[in-house]
Structure 1
Amino acid sequence: MAQSVLIADDHPLFRQALRLAVQNVLPDAINVEAGTLDAAVTAAGTADALRLILLDLKMPGAVGYSGIALLHAERPEVPILVVSSSGPEVAAQARAFGAIGYLHKGSDLDAIEAAIVTALDSPVPSQVDVQEQPVDQVRATVASFTPMQLKVLLAVLDGQLNKQIAHRLAISEATVKVHMTAIMRKLDVRTRTQAALVARSLGLDLRG
């Protein structure tokens, strides 16, 4: 079965550059492209023999590092290489949410290819590495959420009520409550507001 690579970026020209770099590193790979976070999550869930995800932090539909967290939850065995025009200070945060590496959008083709090779050769940890600091532990907890739990949490951050979340995600209100209970238990909080505050403290509601 042919390997595939997911290229998730909303800029066609940069997707073209990433596609060229992938072709140079993995000539036989099938490139799957997405221009929004929703499309990327769908593609990640259905792509066969997925070897690598190239992810733009500022994808439409993404807030902060939510794109990394969602894709890591969807395919935890697949390395995620973040590509961003933001500075290197986002690299550590990206890794905390499950990314294997960071690549600046200003990099030339050789640097992009080298980053892809490194990402492919790097083992994906079974769980996100954390330090002893509580904030790192909470990042790891968020990174371990299921895709639906993350979607519910992001909807809460958007100020939506259970009824609105249920309609948006095509699930019942009872299911939303089950997910919220699991989210609050994992984050060790007692209310939706506290869960939202924890998520905001990790940058989930800030543009990447």
Structure 2
Amino acid sequence: MGSAILIADDHPLYRQALHLAVSRVRPEARVVEAGTLAAAARMVEEVRSVGDGLDLILLDLKMPGAVGYSGIALLHAECPGVPILVVSSAEGAAAAGEARAFGAIGFLRKDSDLGAIEAAIAKALNGRAAPAGAPADAELAPVRETVAKLTPTELKVLLAVLDGQLNKQIAHGLGISEATVKAHMTVIMRKLDVRNRTQAALVARSLGLDLRH
């Protein structure tokens, strides 16, 4: 069984730079790439299907299909044992701490030099975290912790609901029945203890849905 590293970023040139950094740190690893969150999830399945082990995910926060920190939450739910290193242009001192709250092992700004990127990749592959950022908002911390424990499908349903989609639209988009959507929503609401729009807004904030990159 071989090893693979996933680079998920919608900019081809930056994927190329990350590929170079990976090849210097782990030359024997197979590098797979994705330009959207959906493609990243498919690549996770593809790597599993051929029997390779996924050693690391390098993830940009701002890519098609991802909103705020939803990309981290979804990929962490899909493969909880795989370290996720966020490499992003997201602003704000709290971004690193918030990324960690959803399962990222570290956070690196895109303007970091190649040496710093290589060092962060090496640390992540060795199971060591990059330097921590500012602490996350204490009010949102328990909400983030609960959201991070939702299943991949539950997260997809939740994001669709927060996007204003109706059950019929969600069912069509995920290829499931409306009854299944309702069942997922029942579980999600119980887990999150959400009963009104104010609480739903808190969940949205916890996911960084107003994050500016």
Instruction: State the TM-score, normalized to the length of structure 2.
Output: 0.89
Deviations 1:31-86 (A, max 9, x none): 01000011011212332300000000001111000000000000000000001112
Paired residues for 1:115-130 under 5 Å: 115-122=120-127
Residue 131 (structure 1) shift: 9.0
- Separation in 2 of the partners of 1:195 and 1:123? 35
- Separation in 1 of the partners of 2:160 and 2:139? 24
Residue 173 (structure 1) shift: 0.6
Question: Which ranges of structure 2 fall in alignment gaps of 5 or more residues?
Answer: 130-134
Query: In structure 1, what is the equivalent of residue 132 of structure 2?
Result: none
Query: In structure 2, what is the equivalent of residue 110 of structure 1?
Result: 115
Query: In structure 1, what is the equivalent of residue 64 of structure 2?
Result: 60
Deviations 1:180-203 (A, max 9, x none): 011101101235x45631322214
Residue 132 (structure 1) shift: 11
Query: In structure 2, what is the equivalent of residue 20 of structure 1?
Result: 20
Deviations 1:155-191 (A, max 9, x none): 0011111111101110001110111011101101235
- Separation in 1 of the partners of 2:159 and 2:124? 28
Match of 2:188 among 169, 175, 183: 183
Give the match's secondary structure for 2:31: strand
Query: In structure 2, what is the equivalent of residue 127 of structure 1?
Result: none
Query: In structure 1, what is the equivalent of residue 30 of structure 2?
Result: 30
Match of 1:146 among 137, 140, 151: 151
Count of aligned pairs: 202
- Separation in 2 of the partners of 1:206 and 1:26? 36
Native 8 Å contact 2:94 2:136 kept in 1: no
- Separation in 1 of the partners of 2:102 and 2:137? 16
Instruction: State the TM-score, normalized to the length of structure 1.
Output: 0.91
Runs of 4 or more consecutive aligned structure 1 residues displaced over 3 Å after TM superposition: 130-134, 193-196
Q: Percent identity?
A: 63
- Separation in 1 of the partners of 2:79 and 2:16? 24
Q: 1:100 to 1:107 in 2, by over 3 A?
A: same
- Separation in 2 of the partners of 1:153 and 1:23? 37
Deviations 1:126-179 (A, max 9, x none): xxxx99945212101101111100000110011111111101110001110111
Native 8 Å contact 1:139 1:202 kept in 2: yes
AA at the equivalent of 2:60: D
Query: In structure 2, what is the equivalent of residue 42 of structure 1?
Result: 42
Query: In structure 2, what is the equivalent of residue 76 of structure 1?
Result: 80
Question: Which ranges of structure 1 fall in alignment gaps of 5 or more residues?
Answer: 125-129
Give the match's secondary structure for 2:140: helix
